[in-house]
């Protein structure tokens, strides 16, 4: 399952919990998540919102690998 589904189950959230995985937006993902959370809170003022943000790109970064493929994948 996705990270969001795992968190919902592990943290004991209600079955009706909504999730919106936002992936492959780079730095813009944080802004997109905040915008979506804002829209949700406006529509449902009594609701709670949790944003979980994880960055995994740096796990693959190898400073000694100067190949074009590595530079492109790390740069994007």
Which tens digits make up the pLDDT trace of 31-73? 999 999 999 999 999 999 999 887 776 777 777 887 888 777 7
Side-chain-facing half-sphere of 30: CA atoms under 13 Å: 5
Cα 33 to Cα 50: distance, rounded to the nearest angstrom: 10
Find the catalytic residue in 27, 41, 54, 57.
Answer: 27
Q: Are 21 and 4 in contact (CB under 8 A)?
A: yes
Considering all CA atoms of the chain, what is the largest pairwise distance in Å, rounded to the nearest integer? 51
57 is catalytic: no
pLDDT of residue 76: 65
User: Taking the domains of the chain in order of start, what are their residue ranges?
Assistant: 3-75
């Amino acid at each position: 399952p996705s990270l969001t589904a795992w968190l919902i189950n592990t943290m004991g959230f209600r079955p009706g919990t909504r999730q919106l995985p936002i992936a492959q937006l780079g730095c813009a993902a944080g802004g997109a998540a905040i915008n979506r959370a804002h829209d949700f809170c406006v529509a449902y003022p009594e609701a709670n919102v949790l944003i979980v943000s994880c960055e995994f790109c740096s796990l693959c970064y190898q400073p000694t690998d100067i190949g074009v493929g590595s530079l492109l994948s790390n740069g994007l």
